[in-house]
Structure 1
Amino acid sequence: MTTPHTPRTVLVTGTSSGIGLAAAVAAAEAGWQVVATMRDTAKAGPLRAAAAKAGVEGLVDVMRLDVVDAASIDACLEEVLARHGRLDAVVNNAGAGQVGTIEQGTVEDVRAAMEVNFFGVVQVTRAAMPHLRASRGRVITVSSVGGIVGQPFNEAYCAAKFAVEGFMESLAPVAATVGVDVTVVEPGAVASEFVASIGVDVPAMVAAAGPYGDALQAYVARTMQSFEAAQTPAEAARPIVDALTADRPPFRVQTSDWARAFVAPKLADQDGSAVQALTGGWVR
């Protein structure tokens, strides 16, 4: 049982930069014991510096976790329980972008995007669920507006995020029967290293795009324009912390007015409450 001297514990994946780093620090500022995970802990310098600047370095515990490696996940969770005695929430944030169109890519490219962005989420969630049942905890997953609206030249990435949305929407009513809340968080454009990490040489890609060159050039121009008004990672992380601390978190939340407007034409049930009310009745 949590006491004032034993803070609730949240595991956050993908915390070396961007939304994950900001969410880890913000959760610690909200009083959570944060297990901040990343594939390569040698990249923890910016996180440690941000935590120290916020005065919460004592609440941020860095651990290695590779979301595509089941053994790494199991070892990390074992260490979380050994160090902190409980797990109250998981924030599935780790992910990777993938830009291109299928004719000019490979099926292996699509599989790689699915492995990180979808199966990584599935593996971490599956391994964490017994502990979250014990604590009546929460699963919070960073999706994307690209999990609602398919976007040109993002076929593999959006397919993975669509899969995440379907998985979590289906899991939510089942998890609720054992006291676990499920939320998906949908950012729009965020000024973070995630964009740089895609590793695309845009001029070279446009030059190599052949019949898709004009379309790709138009897409890139539009995308760069949207990032001129991008949220900061800290702004995008606030709804994650809200979902951690709310008495009854929504199933779905967008991180900005821009994101809400972007998904609105397709998503009438913007917070997911109508679907959850419908399907929740099937398991009660």
Structure 2
Amino acid sequence: MTDSKTVLITGTSSGIGLAAAVAAAASGWHVVATLRDPGKVGALFAAAAEAGVADRIQVAALDVTDPASVVAAVERVVAEHGRLDAVVNNAGAGMVGTAELLTDADVRDAMEVNYFGVVAVTRAALPHLRAVGGRLVTVTSVGGVVGQPFNDAYCAAKFAVEGFMESLAPVAATVGVRVSVVEPGAVASEFVASQQLDIPALLGAAGPYAPAMQSYIERTVASFGDAQTSADAAAAIVATLDAAEPPFRVQTSDRARDFVGTKLTDRDGSAVQALTRDWVEG
């Protein structure tokens, strides 16, 4: 990619988004790194400086749940740089719980951040991506393919994103825009910590689901013990941005590929149910 290429990335204060911003800059992109709270740029600036790419990263405020903020951020990029070549939808938030333990507000919050925010950014960016034959890359999750215990709302939102993008991709291609989804599995980043989970409180409020939740939490903690790094996941995002012919669906590790593959070959759902049942039965 040439120095004139500009990419807007959402959710860059930490984790995959931060790593993707730095990696994209290192690959030659001019990066507009957006985050809801511009005051939380310390880690990003430090990582960019360490990588020697601070001059290729510009920070901007963007709250994906605020349509006015989305439009303003996109329009500012185009006004300042003359074009927008790519977008990486990365901003997201977890939501642990199951149907009886979640409120309507919990479910709506998960959808606002993880789904409607993606839709808003995509809608605002598409006219500009169409103008240059650009790229739209959305970070979903293996949880956008395989429904996971105690992730009802989160997986529902990520499933929605996958359906949205899978439907959009062939239409966008007719006007020159390539659409891809990137599906990380367990990533050793601040994403889990950012949920600020009070595990004793969760278990205390779980009622009849407490034994299953205990098993799920123990399994999840163990899975993050050997998770891939944010930098590894970011490398898959940037490779998708840079590819001459990017695939629609990209997993960020062999582990993620195997996990997603279980679902994509599971016609009656029995293989997935056997897999995830083990997470909650101990």
Give the structure 2 partner of residue 206 of structure 1.
Answer: 203
Match of 1:33 among 3, 19, 30: 30
Give the structure 2 partner of residue 91 of structure 1.
Answer: 88
Match of 1:159 among 150, 153, 156: 156
Match of 1:47 among 44, 47, 51: 44
Give the structure 2 partner of residue 241 of structure 1.
Answer: 238
Structure 2 CA distance, aligned partners of 1:187 and 1:47?
21
Match status 1:76 vs 2:73: yes
The alignment's C-alpha RMSD in Å is 1.2
Structure 2: give runs of 5+ residues left out of the alignment: 267-282
Match status 1:140 vs 2:137: yes
Structure 2 CA distance, aligned partners of 1:268 and 1:239?
23
Give the structure 2 partner of residue 115 of structure 1.
Answer: 112
TM-score calculated relative to the size of structure 1: 0.92
Match of 1:131 among 128, 133, 136: 128
TM-score calculated relative to the size of structure 2: 0.93
Structure 2 CA distance, aligned partners of 1:252 and 1:98?
24
Match status 1:266 vs 2:271: no
Report the count of equivalent residues: 266
Structure 1 CA distance, aligned partners of 2:200 and 2:227?
22
Give the structure 1 partner of residue 178 of structure 2.
Answer: 181
Worse-matched range after superposition: 99-108 or 177-186? 99-108
Secondary structure at the residue paired with 2:227?
A: coil
Match of 1:228 among 208, 225, 228: 225
Return structure 1 stretches of 4+ with deviation > 4 angstroms. Answer: none
Structure 1: give runs of 5+ residues left out of the alignment: 270-284
Give the structure 2 partner of residue 21 of structure 1.
Answer: 18
Give percent identity, aligned residues only: 69
Give the structure 1 partner of residue 6 of structure 2.
Answer: 9
Structure 2 CA distance, aligned partners of 1:7 and 1:55?
18
Give the structure 2 partner of residue 61 of structure 1.
Answer: 58
Tell me the CA shift for residue 7 of structure 1. Answer: 2.0
